[in-house]
Amino acid sequence: MRILAVIAVAAAVASVPNDDAQKINVSAMTCSQFLKVDRDRSDLILSWFLGFYAEAANPQIIDLAKLDRARDQFNTFCAEEPSFRMTTAAEGLLGK
């Protein structure tokens, strides 16, 4: 579902000015930082991770229930491990 990630990033780029304040470096983001972002931004970040780790079987499907489950998982994990990087958390929660 890398397509989902591309769609999410494209939507974000199209809707905001292109400057450094509007970029999200998920490789540098910690769980603590993730917990501080608003719901729209957290959905965008989670959509990117879901697309990155998705199975290729249904690349055109956006599963909103899966997004809700991921949000719950990340919020719980990040509350317990605020210093973890989001990429590390995602690999543990979503990776294969």
Q: Domains in the chain, please, with CATH?
A: 2-94 (1.10.890.10)
The pLDDT of residue 9 is above 60: no
Contact by Cβ (8 Å): 34, 87:
no
More confident residue, 62 or 78: 78
Entry pTM? 0.74
28, 30, 82 from 25: Cα distances, Å: 6, 10, 17
Q: What is the pLDDT of residues 18-66, one digit of tens each?
A: 566 788 999 999 999 999 999 999 999 999 999 888 876 666 788 899 9
